[in-house]
Amino acid sequence: MRRPLILVVDDTPDNIEVLVNILRDDFEVKAAINGARAIKIANDTPKPDMILLDIMMPAMDGYEVCERLKSDPQTAEIPIIFVTAKDGTEDEERGFELGAVDYMTKPITSPSIVKARVNAQLALYDHNRLLSQRVEERTRELNDTRLKIIQRLGLAAEYRDEDTGKHVIRMSHYSRLIAQAYVDKKKAGWSENDYGDGAKWVEMVYNAAPMHDVGKIGVPDGILLKPGKFTPDEWEFMKKHAEFGKEIIGEEETPLLKMSGIIAISHHEKWDGSGYPKAMKGEDIPLEGRIVAIADVFDALCSRRPYKDPWPFEKARDYIIESKGTHFDPELVDLFEQVMPEVRKIYDLYVDSDEEIEQKKTVLEERKRYLQN
């Protein structure tokens, strides 16, 4: 088991030697004679478990070292004890304000007190790290559970019509590829939004995309499974599935569900304003909805269904390109073209098997017979 690593920082070698002699039997000890060296060691691997820091040093004093370490997420949690000849109340107060956990004055006269205070702070640090780890694990479990529920709801919606479950898998990956290409293109122009940085937003698009057609749950089988052409009234009701999806998800403020609702209600909008349910146009359509629109239509064209053969990739790609500026966002179509090799890999990996197609066909025929009876 690795012994705790203590970093001693002091510009006077004699002071370093005193602390090293006190600590070396119980701890691994490193030393730095200036602030710059201390910051470098603090960022090394393994990181120090604690820093004993002098205040009065040339170039960069202990206060500045502490401030820099506490402002860096990589070192902010390392406990710092000031060990200094400055014994004024205002000096001690400033140390605690900067984030130090304890304050000892020089000269050191009691090795046992130094060890006791170091051990006490290390025990507290270990306890806090354990609590933080447990919180992270629990948060991850909750997020994983929520994500699985969302994915299953997306699959439940696809189960109601001719799409197989792999449709939501493929189109989610396609959405992720387009979103990543968009972030890569923006680079420095990308700014954090409600969903976090670019990487978090891309992951959110991928996780929310399966909910795009969850509103199909609210469409009666008599319409959803109708083999012929819809009547005008039936088509108007069918289009309501976008609004049903938003209502099912609700006005949630959690980022994943919020984006899922946006995608559900906007992925049938068209760039030229001819889509539904709100006939939004151009960039008034949420970016996430514009991305999923391309992924959803492309996969529908390329997928086998009980009633149709798949379109060749080239034909489906050409359709998306031809619909640039009418159905789809022109910029996103260009990005989709760029990631087409990765799209092909995703489709080959998650291709619908003959058995899956036949199983879906059998289920739908049984439901249709039930409706007829």
Assigned fold of 160-372: Hypothetical protein af1432 (1.10.3210)
SS3 169: helix
**All residues at 6 or more sequence positions from 20 whose CB lies less than 8 Å from its CB, including other chains:** 8, 29, 31
pLDDT at residue 365, as a whole number: 65
User: Which residues sit opposite 324 in a β-bridge?
Assistant: 328
Contact 81, 121 (CB under 8 A): yes
Cα–Cα distances (Å) from 62 to 23, 54, 192, 347, in that order, read 21, 6, 34, 58
Q: First-to-last CA distance in the chain?
A: 72
pLDDT at residue 139, as a whole number: 76
The alpha-helical segments, DSSP class H, found in the chain are 13-23, 35-42, 62-71, 89-97, 111-159, 166-186, 198-208, 221-224, 232-239, 241-249, 255-266, 287-302, 313-322, 330-338, 340-349, 354-372
pLDDT at residue 310, as a whole number: 83
The domain locations on the chain are 5-133, 160-372
CA–CA separation, 292 vs 145, rounded Å?
A: 23
**Smallest Cα–Cα separation from 239: which of 262, 216, 263, 206?**
216
Output the tens digit of pLDDT for each of the chain's 373 residues: 778 999 999 999 999 999 999 999 999 999 999 999 999 999 988 899 999 999 999 889 999 999 999 999 899 999 999 988 887 788 888 888 998 999 888 888 888 989 998 999 989 888 888 888 888 888 777 777 766 777 666 666 666 665 555 888 899 999 999 999 999 998 766 666 767 788 889 999 999 998 899 898 888 877 877 767 888 999 999 999 999 989 988 887 788 889 999 999 999 999 999 999 999 999 999 999 999 999 999 999 988 765 667 899 899 999 999 999 999 999 999 999 999 999 999 988 887 766 766 666 665 566 566 656 5
Tokens at residue 210, please?
Answer: 């399966």
SS3 199: helix
Cα–Cα distances (Å) from 127 to 35, 70, 77, 121, 132, in that order, read 28, 19, 13, 10, 9
CA–CA separation, 121 vs 114, rounded Å?
A: 11
pLDDT at residue 91, as a whole number: 81
Strands 50-53 and 102-105: unpaired
Assigned fold of 5-133: Rossmann fold (3.40.50)
SS3 190: coil
Contact 276, 254 (CB under 8 A): no
pLDDT at residue 278, as a whole number: 95
pLDDT tens digit string along 319-340?
A: 999 999 999 999 999 999 999 9
